[in-house]
Amino acid sequence: MRRTDTENSNSRTQRLVTRGGLLLGAVVVLGGLAGLVERARANSDGAFGAVGLTPAEARSTLDSLESLSGALAVSDLELTRARAIIEYSAIYQIPSDLSAAIYDIALSEGINPAIGFRLVQIESSFKAKARSSVGAIGYTQLMPATARFYMPEITEKMLYDRDINLRIGFRFLRQLMARFDGNLHYALLAYNRGPVTVREILSEGGNPANGYAQKVMGK
């Protein structure tokens, strides 16, 4: 990663840590206020007066707190996402926009992002223009025939599009997992060797392992 990229990542990380501290402080304050209002709501009307709130004011305050709590939950998810994107970008030495695309698309397709990143690393070394000797294309090394199963109108040129390639590749893996009853090991082998080949080997009592699944799974 270039020095400027590293500096930008460090700056973003510092901002996120600062934001995380502010969020934590807000949660503590809001938690205390929410507890106060909940106690007031649970008690008689006299209890509202004891804390300086009418019943209507207490309900209004609690509604506002609940709304803020939801906003904080969203912010926490955004912080988690940003931190993960930066970390993956640093680990694999890839641009943050590519890291974000892999992370977001993997999640949207039901794939663990950690698996998504390792699959792309092994398949294409994060090279958008990668093409194998047998014609597999792009980040996830899709064969055009496989891609057309998910997008009949797709062309080879379209397979070089980052988001299209990632989405189809991760969707293919997810459906392989469903086909192999959630077994990620077999699904990855089917991704690499083809589902028919893996099924045939298993039906004959053999072991289709070739080391690919272990590499992707980090084992």
Please give the positions annotated as active site: 123
Alpha-carbon gap, residue 92 to 100, rounded angstroms: 12
- Give CA torsion, residues 98, 103, 108, 109, to 10 deg: 90
**CB 34: neighbour CB atoms within 10 A?**
16
* Token duo for residue 145: 């025939």
Write out the E strands in 130-192: none
**Cβ neighbour number for residue 119 with a 10 Å cutoff:** 27
Tokens, residue 191: 């991704």
How far is the C-alpha of 33 from the C-alpha of 42, rounded, in Å? 14
Distances (CA, A) of 32 to 28, 38, 44, 178: 6, 10, 20, 45
Question: How many Å apart are CA 194 and CA 192, to the nearest integer?
Answer: 6
Residue 59 dihedral angles phi and psi, to the nearest 5° = -65, -40
